[in-house]
Amino acid sequence: MLGPALSTARIVVKRLLKTALGLPGMFLPRREPCVRVLFYHRVNPYPVAKLGPVSREITVRPEEFAWQMAYLASHGFRVLSLSEFEALRADNRQPSRNSILISFDDGYEDNLLYAAPILKQHGFPAVVFVVAGFIGKESSDVLPYADERQYGRFLSYQQIEAMLAQGIEIGSHTISHPLLTSVDSPGLREEIKGSREKLEEMFGVKVTSFAYPGGDLDDRVEQSVAHAGYVTAFTTRTGAATVTDRMTALSRTEVSASDSRLVFRMKLRGSLDWLVVKDSAPIRRLLSLSNRLLMPLAKGAS
């Protein structure tokens, strides 16, 4: 059981680190006006041992997600839909203070099973960035460090229809979730424009928004997204989406397993936004090296 234990230890260390790092941020001035775009991956109560090492870190438990949504509802946050967010940006209007957009990457089935009912309770809209080629599949079919079967399912066609019926919007997260900076130009067109066309054809909705897998982008990738006709595109760069951000390179605030309730409140306040320094190229390389070294260990003995 070294695997789950190692994952749990990593989550505990990250939680402590985030709290420590959020404290100095509380004294920094708040940047405004902005919309804080929260991004989640998974919301479920599955046993840790059934989840792969990546899922363990990106899974928020339903009771925590419920607490987070109740916190937004009771503290005057205004949750925008993607369409409202895009209209605001298009008209150059200032967002009201405490505006939030809720997003989910990858399109896991648990978004519908566990997150959607909680969003519905509060009447909160959201956007799910779907990987077009993962629809109806298991993570073990398509990803390294995957989950046990049945614990890593992606939304099926019918489940996405059900989500759309609830008013949750969809965006594109490519066809196969590659790191886009290493994809050649024809492949880039297929992953970016092709995924949009595929989703629009399947579901009969307009797909106006894109999320970069792993937050991996450069000028070439960003231009390809703009040429494909997307209105907005979201990175994983830490921070709030300010009015000065490019529409095709919007910052977001990740919420994961290692976010305590205190850290969640710090993130809403922007106290951890200064960690944008970790998105610099050398630190990103260091973090990905640490993941490459630790993930096989976390998987190994599970």
Q: Which of 3, 53, 213, 270 binds Zn ion (CB under 5 A)?
A: 213
Evaluate the omega torsion of the peptide bond into residue 178 and state whether it is cis, within 30 degrees of 0: no
- Strands annotated E in 77-177: 78-80, 99-106, 127-130, 169-172
At residue 165, φ and ψ (nearest 5 deg) are -65, -25
CB of 47 to Zn ion, least distance (A): 23
CB of 87 to Zn ion, least distance (A): 26
Give which of 139, 208, 127, 212 is closest to 178, Cα–Cα. 212
CB of 152 to Zn ion, least distance (A): 13
CB of 25 to Zn ion, least distance (A): 26
| Token reading at 111 | 């978004």
Q: Binding mask 157-196 vs Zn ion (x if CB under 5 A, - otherwise)?
A: ----------------------------------------
C-alpha dihedral (230, 94, 25, 266), degrees to nearest 10: -80
CB of 235 to Zn ion, least distance (A): 12
CA distance 99 to 267: 13
Beta-ladder partners of 211: 234
CB 238 within 8 Å of CB 255:
no
Name which of 66 and 175 has its Cβ closer to Zn ion: 175
- The yes or no reply on residue 138 touching Zn ion (CB under 5 A) is no
Total number of residues that touch Zn ion (CB under 5 A): 3
Half-sphere exposure of residue 107: CA atoms within 13 angstroms, side-chain side: 33
- Strands annotated E in 44-161: 59-60, 78-80, 99-106, 127-130
Q: Binding mask 87-126 vs Zn ion (x if CB under 5 A, - otherwise)?
A: ------------------xx--------------------
Q: By Cβ distance, which residue is nearest to Zn ion? A: 105
- The yes or no reply on residue 215 touching Zn ion (CB under 5 A) is no
Name which of 39 and 77 has its Cβ closer to Zn ion: 39
Name which of 83 and 176 has its Cβ closer to Zn ion: 176
CB of 172 to Zn ion, least distance (A): 11
Q: Which residues of this protein are in contact with Zn ion, per CB under 5 A?
A: 105-106, 213
